[in-house]
Amino acid sequence: MSRDINDLHPDLQQPCMDFLNQCKDAGLKPFIIFTWRSPAEQDRLYAQGRTEPGPIVTNLKGNQSLHCFMLNGEPASKAFDFGLEDENNRYITDGTDPRYTQSGHIGESLGLIWGGRFIHPRPDYDHLQLKGNT
């Protein structure tokens, strides 16, 4: 799994950097959790909460996830997951925290799709992706 912005699709790299900068300008403390991941890594995450211990964290298998996209044989994720830290530098794990909504709106203002608006099977508050890839 990668946190490297260079592993994002070329069309997503600048919006991701703009997102991080605009969040910081708004007083938020964002960080990248995932950019690209292999189909095998995605399948392992999909198994979590189903056939493996832990909570369900994704609803897509490796052949379905935008995180697994490749371009010319190289990682080119069309989505990234982010986290936010509070004023004490602790990871905010509650996606319903208003700071995730604020950051989601920043992502949308950059032309991205925010997972916080997903309805089925559940919102994905820490996810942003390119438009046209649902």
CATH number for 79: 3.30.1380.10
Which residues of the chain form beta strands (DSSP E)? 30-34, 70-71, 74-75, 79-84, 113-114, 127-129
Query: Residue 88 domain-assigned?
Result: yes
The pLDDT of residue 132 is 82
Q: Apex CA 37: angle with CA 91 and CA 43, to 5°?
A: 100
Rg of the chain in Å (alpha carbons): 14
**Element spanning 84, H or E:** strand 79-84
The pLDDT of residue 134 is 47
Q: Which ranges of the chain have pLDDT less than 50? A: 134
Query: Residue 86 domain-assigned?
Result: yes
How distant, in Å, are the alpha carbons of 11, 61, 64, 85, 92 from that of 88? 33, 35, 36, 7, 10
How many distinct structural domains can be found in the chain?
1
Which residue type does 98 have? P
Residue-number span of the structural domain to which 49 is assigned: 5-129
Query: Residue 19 domain-assigned?
Result: yes
The pLDDT of residue 29 is 98
Query: Residue 79 domain-assigned?
Result: yes
How distant, in Å, are the alpha carbons of 38, 75, 110 from that of 117? 25, 26, 15
User: Which tokens belong to 112?
Assistant: 């991205």
Query: Residue 117 domain-assigned?
Result: yes
Give the residue among 24, 20, 22 at the shortest CA–CA distance from 8.
20
Query: Residue 134 domain-assigned?
Result: no
For the stretch 1-14, pLDDT in tens is: 678 999 999 999 99
Put simply, whether the predicted model's pTM sits higher than 0.85 gets the answer: yes
